[in-house]
């Protein structure tokens, strides 16, 4: 909107852009409801990891499965959020390649509206995935050690993280030709970031170089923050680090994503 230089240009106000964004977010949610299997992909994988790690390695790592559960659930919440945030890139890429964006772009709506819509719909996705994960974890024996009020705070933190991290997926989604490539490329990024962290094992057990990375890995910092919030323990330290990462990811990838978005749609 702001890039249109000439005076007589018809403009779309922020309120209207947001309203159109919400309309398109509703479309995104409707699509989630119609294709629950797509959501299942992002939900089931972390749950599989949860079950596998708890019963396979839990005893070996933490002595018994129930204390391992306390360690691993907050970490898998972070992993779930990261995985769910890939979907926004896939959804946008699909819309572009299927021509749906051409339809939107021929309408007098803000250029940002489809993007706002996709990202807002993503929030619903994070929420559903995290709730399912917590329900399964609770059935397996996970217990919040602080207070129930910590759950919405943890959820909000994950949403904020998802909102920052999703710009990487948006960027990749706007650069590559088809939806499958978005998935593949994001996996290359996500797997080392997820596993090179303290989600599954405390970093003290790692070789020096890996420990050094794991200790500054945003996934570790977020997992530690959630552990503090949900299980009890220090919050401020890891939270600060996590927020710094989120700000950095936003600062780098939001402009990149916006540039790629504009270019793809130019």
Partner 1 sequence: MNDDIAIRAEGLVKRYRETTALAGVDLEVPTGTVLGVLGPNGAGKTTAVRILATLLQADAGHATVCGHDVRRDPVGVRSVIGLTGQYASVDEDLTGAENLTLIGRLLDLPKAAARARAAELLDRFELTGAGGRAIKTYSGGMRRRLDLAASLVGRPRVLYLDEPTTGLDPHARNEVWQVVRGLVDEGATALLTTQYLEEADQLADRITVFDHGRVVADGRSDELKRRVGGQTLQVRPTVRSDLDLVERILAELTGASPARDDDAALLTAPVSDPTLLSAMVRRLDEAGITADELALRLPSLDEVFLALTGDAATRPAEPERSLV
Task: By CB under 8 A, name the one of 4, 14, 131, 240 that touches partner 1.
Answer: 4
Q: How many residues bind partner 1 (CB under 8 A)?
A: 32
One character per residue 19-38, x = contact with partner 1 (rule: CB under 8 A): -x--xx--x--xx--xx---
What is the number of residues in the chain? 266
**At what angle are helices 65-97 and 113-140 packed, to 10 degrees?**
160
Q: Does 262 bind partner 1 (CB under 8 A)?
A: no
Task: By CB under 8 A, name the one of 67, 102, 240, 263 that touches partner 1.
Answer: 102
Nearest CB to partner 1, comparing residues 183 and 214: 183
Q: Judged by CB under 8 A, which stretch of 10-18, 42-50, 136-144, 145-153 contacts partner 1?
A: 10-18
- Provide, rounded to whole angstroms, the least separation between the CB of residue 2 and partner 1: 13
The Cα–Cα gap between 187 and 120 comes to 22
Within its chain, how far is the Cα of 234 from the centroid?
A: 23
Q: Judged by CB under 8 A, which stretch of 3-11, 43-51, 165-173, 239-247 contacts partner 1?
A: 3-11
Nearest to 57 by CA among 46, 65, 67, 45: 65
Q: Judged by CB under 8 A, which stretch of 46-54, 94-102, 138-146, 185-193 contacts partner 1?
A: 94-102
Nearest to 261 by CA among 163, 165, 118, 124: 118
The Cα–Cα gap between 210 and 231 comes to 25
Nearest to 154 by CA among 162, 66, 25: 162
Q: Which residues contact 41 (CB under 8 A, 6 or more apart)?
A: none
Nearest CB to partner 1, comparing residues 12 and 250: 12
Phi, psi of 54 (to 5 degrees): -65, -50
Task: By CB under 8 A, name the one of 8, 152, 207, 208 that touches partner 1.
Answer: 8
Q: Which two tokens stand for residue 168?
A: 């990487």
- Provide, rounded to whole angstroms, the least separation between the CB of residue 32 and partner 1: 10
What is the full DSSP assignment across 175-202? HSSSHHHHHHHHHHHHHHHHHSSTTTS-
Task: By CB under 8 A, name the one of 55, 59, 63, 103 that touches partner 1.
Answer: 103
Nearest CB to partner 1, comparing residues 19 and 254: 19
- At which residue do the structure tokens 């706007």 appear? 174
- Provide, rounded to whole angstroms, the least separation between the CB of residue 102 and partner 1: 5
Q: Which residues bind partner 1 (CB under 8 A)?
A: 4-6, 8-12, 16, 20, 23-24, 27, 30-31, 34-35, 95, 98-109, 113, 266
């Amino acid at each position: 909107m702001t890039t249109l230089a000439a005076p007589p240009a018809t403009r779309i106000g922020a309120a209207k852009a947001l309203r159109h964004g919400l309309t398109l977010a509703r479309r995104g949610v409707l699509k989630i409801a119609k294709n629950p299997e797509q959501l299942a992909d992002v939900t089931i994988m972390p749950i599989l990891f949860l079950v596998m790690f708890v019963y396979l390695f839990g005893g070996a790592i933490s002595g018994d499965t129930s204390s391992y559960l306390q360690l691993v659930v907050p970490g898998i919440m972070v992993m779930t959020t990261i995985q769910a945030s890939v979907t926004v890139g896939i959804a946008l890429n699909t819309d572009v390649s299927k021509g749906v964006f051409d339809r939107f772009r021929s309408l007098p709506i803000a250029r940002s509206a489809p993007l706002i819509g996709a990202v807002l719909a993503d929030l619903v996705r994070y929420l559903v995935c995290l709730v399912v994960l917590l329900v399964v974890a609770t059935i397996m024996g996970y217990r919040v050690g602080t207070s129930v009020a910590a759950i919405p705070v943890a959820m909000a933190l994950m949403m904020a993280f998802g909102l920052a991290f999703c710009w990487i997926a948006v960027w990749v989604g706007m650069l590559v030709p088809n939806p499958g490539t978005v998935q593949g490329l994001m996996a290359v990024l996500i797997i080392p970031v997820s596993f090179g962290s303290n989600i599954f094992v405390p970093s003290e057990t790692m070789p020096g170089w890996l420990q050094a990375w794991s200790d500054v890995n945003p996934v570790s910092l977020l997992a530690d923050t959630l552990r503090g919030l949900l299980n009890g323990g220090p919050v401020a330290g890891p939270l600060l680090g996590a927020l710094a990462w989120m700000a950095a990811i936003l600062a780098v990838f939001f402009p990149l994503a916006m540039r790629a978005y504009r270019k793809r749609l130019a």
